[in-house]
Amino acid sequence: MSRFLNTRSGLLACGVILGLGFVSATAGVGLAQSALKKRYVGRIPNERVLASLNERVRMHAESLLGSQVGGGECTDLVNEVLRFCNAKQIHIRSDGQYEWGQAIPLYKKEGGLFVIPGDILQFENVELKGGGSSYKYPHHTAIVRSANGKVIELLHQNVNGVRRAVTGSINLDQLQPGGTISTFRPKPL
* Burial (CB count within 10 angstroms: exposed 0-12, middle 13-18, buried 19+), residue 54: buried
Query: Which residues, at least 6 apart from 114, have a Cβ–Cβ distance to it below 8 Å?
Result: 104, 105, 106, 107, 108, 183
Residue-wise pLDDT for 85-138, tens only, equals: 999 999 999 998 999 999 999 988 888 889 999 999 999 999 999 888 888 999
Crossing angle of helices 74-84/47-63, nearest 10°? 130
DSSP single-letter state for residue 164 = S
When pLDDT is cut at 50, 70 and 90, the band that residue 52 belongs to is: confident
- Are the beta carbons of 187 and 120 closer than 8 angstroms? no
The CATH number of 45-185 is 3.90.1720.60
CA–CA dist 6, 11 (Å, integer): 7
When pLDDT is cut at 50, 70 and 90, the band that residue 83 belongs to is: very high
CA–CA dist 30, 152 (Å, integer): 35
> In the chain, what are the domain boundaries?
2-41, 45-185
Mean per-residue pLDDT, 128-155: 94
Residue-wise pLDDT for 22-48, tens only, equals: 444 444 444 444 444 444 444 444 555
Helix (H) or strand (E) holding 129: strand 120-130
